[in-house]
Amino acid sequence: MNKNNLIYLDNNSTTRVDPRVFDAMAPYFHELYGNPSSPHRYGLEASIAVEASRLMIKKLFGIEDRELYFTSSATESINIAIMGTAFANFSIKKHLITQATEHPAVLEVFKSLESLGFRTTVLDVDGQGFVDPQAIKNAIEPDTLLVSIMAANNEIGTLQDLVSIGKICEETEVLFHSDLTQAAGRYDFNVSEIKLDMISGGAHKIHGPKGIGYLGLNKTTKKIRINPLMYGGGQENGLSPGTLNVPLIVGLSKALEICEENRTGETEFLNGLRQLFFTTLTENIEGVHLNGPGIRLLNNLSLRFDNISSNDLINGIKTLAFSAGSACATGEGKPSHVLRAIGLNDSQIKSTARFGFSRFNSGHEILTAANEIVNFIKLKRK
Ligand code: PLP
C-alpha cells in the first residue's frame, strides 16, 4: 500500500520501478551523463554501461553477435520488427500473419500495412485466447514473410505455444516475431531453442523505467532484411537512431537481471498472491468467472462478476487501483478486442476487471483488496 492508502493491482499496465533499478540508473543522470558516441571519458563510461547492458540482455535471450537494439518502447520495437521487415521485403513477399488478441502495437501495424498494399491474416483464437499452431501452418502461403505471435496476453494472460509455432516457421522459412512485453523476465526465452527470429519487449512491466524497449534479432538461421523506420545519426546500427538513453538502458538491464535472479522465488510468491485473491473471492461470493486459461501469465487475473460492471467496481472501491479489461482499451472507451475475440458478449465484457500482482504487493494487501470487493459486491447485490 502506498501513502495514499491505495492498493496497486494494475501491474499488467505498468509497475513500480524497483529501488535497485532506480539506484543502478541514478549515476547515469547526474555523474556519468556522457553521450556514448562521444570520444572522451564521459562518452566512454556511458558507452561501457550501454554495452554491458546489451551483453547482459543478449545473454538472457541467447542472442549472438550484436543484434540487440535499444528502442524507446516495446511499441517502437514491434513497429520496427514488423514494418521494417515488410518494407525491406516488399518486392518479394507481401503476406503477414498474426492473431486476434495481439496488442494494438501489432494489430495497428498490420492494419497500416494492409492499407499500403500488403496482405494480412489475423487468425481467430479459441475461448481461452489460444491461437492454433495448425491454423498458422494452414495460413502460410508462398509469399508469407512473417508470423507475429505474442508470448503472453496483457488482458487474459494466455501463454501462446511459441515452441510449436517456432517449428512451423522454421520448416516454412517464414520469419517469426514475438512480442515478449508481458512475459520476458518471468519465463525463459532462448531465441534459438524457440526458433524466434525477432523479439520485442520493454522494461516497465517488470519494475524497470518507462520509455525504453529492445529489439532482438536472431540471425543464426535465417537472413533478416530489415529497414529502419526513422533516419538520423546511425545509432543502433541505423535501426533505432537517436542519442541513446543511457540511464534507461541501464534500468532495463537491471530490471531483467533482478527478474532472472529471483525467478523461482517470485514465481511462487506471485502464484501464492493470485491464489489467495482468487479463493477469497470465489469462497465468499457467487458468480465469479475466470477469463482465459487456468495456467496463465504469472501475475495476471481477468475476472468477471455476474451483474456487476467493472466501472461500478472501480468507481465504488476507491482504495484499489485496477483496470477494466486493459488500460489501453479503457483509455479509448472501446470494448476490449481481446474479450470480444474469446467470445464474450457486451455484458460479460462490461463486467470484466483485470488484476495484476507484483513483488511489491503483500499477502495482507491482497486479502484486504479481495475482502473489499466481496463486501462491495454483497452490498450491490442485496
Ligand atoms: N505489448 C504488450 C503485450 C503490452 O502489454 C504492451 C503494453 O501495454 C505493449 C506491447 C506496448 O508497450 P509500451 O506501451 O511500453 O510500448
Question: What are the CA-CA distances from residue 68 to residues 77, 103, 186, 200, 239 (Å)?
Answer: 11, 22, 19, 10, 10
Closest C-alpha to 168, from 142, 189, 194: 194
DSSP 183: T
Q: What is the per-residue pLDDT across 309-330, written as a single tens digit (0 to 9) for each?
A: 999 999 999 999 999 865 444 4
Active site residues: 328
Is 194 within 8 Å of 163 (Cβ atoms)?
yes
Q: What is the pLDDT of residue 331?
A: 53
DSSP string, 63-131: --TT-EEEES-HHHHHHHHHHHHHHHTTTT--EEEEETTS-HHHHHHHHHHHHTT-EEEEE---TTSPP
Q: What is the per-residue pLDDT across 278-300, written as a single tens digit (0 to 9) for each?
A: 999 999 999 999 999 999 999 99
Which atom of ligand 1 is closest in space to residue 75's alpha carbon?
16
Which atom of ligand 1 is closest in space to residue 77's alpha carbon?
16
Q: What is the per-residue pLDDT across 229-279, written as a single tens digit (0 to 9) for each?
A: 999 999 999 999 999 999 999 999 999 999 999 999 999 999 999 999 999
Q: Does residue 354 line the site of ligand 1, with CB under 6 A?
A: no
Q: What is the pLDDT of residue 361?
A: 98
Q: What is the pLDDT of residue 373?
A: 97
Q: Does residue 323 line the site of ligand 1, with CB under 6 A?
A: no
Q: What is the pLDDT of residue 57?
A: 98
Q: What is the pLDDT of residue 64?
A: 86
3-class state of residue 357 by DSSP: coil
Is 213 within 8 Å of 77 (Cβ atoms)?
yes
Mean of per-residue pLDDT scores for the chain: 95
DSSP 368: H
Q: Which residue has the higher pLDDT, 228 or 325?
A: 228
DSSP string, 234-250: -TGGGTS-S---HHHHH
- The label of the residue with cell 489467495 reads 276
Task: For a ligand 1 pocket test, name from 70, 99, 205, 240 the mutation site with the most ligand atoms within 8 angstroms of its C-beta.
Answer: 205
> Backbone phi, then psi, for 270, in 5-degree steps?
-70, -35
> Whose alpha carbon is nearest atom 12 of ligand 1?
74
Q: Does residue 157 line the site of ligand 1, with CB under 6 A?
A: no
Distance 69 CA to ligand 1 centre (A): 17
Q: Does residue 154 line the site of ligand 1, with CB under 6 A?
A: yes
Element of type H or E holding 48: helix 41-61
Q: What is the per-residue pLDDT across 45-67, written as a single tens digit (0 to 9) for each?
A: 999 999 999 999 999 999 987 79
Which atom of ligand 1 is closest in space to residue 73's alpha carbon?
16
Q: What is the pLDDT of residue 329?
A: 45
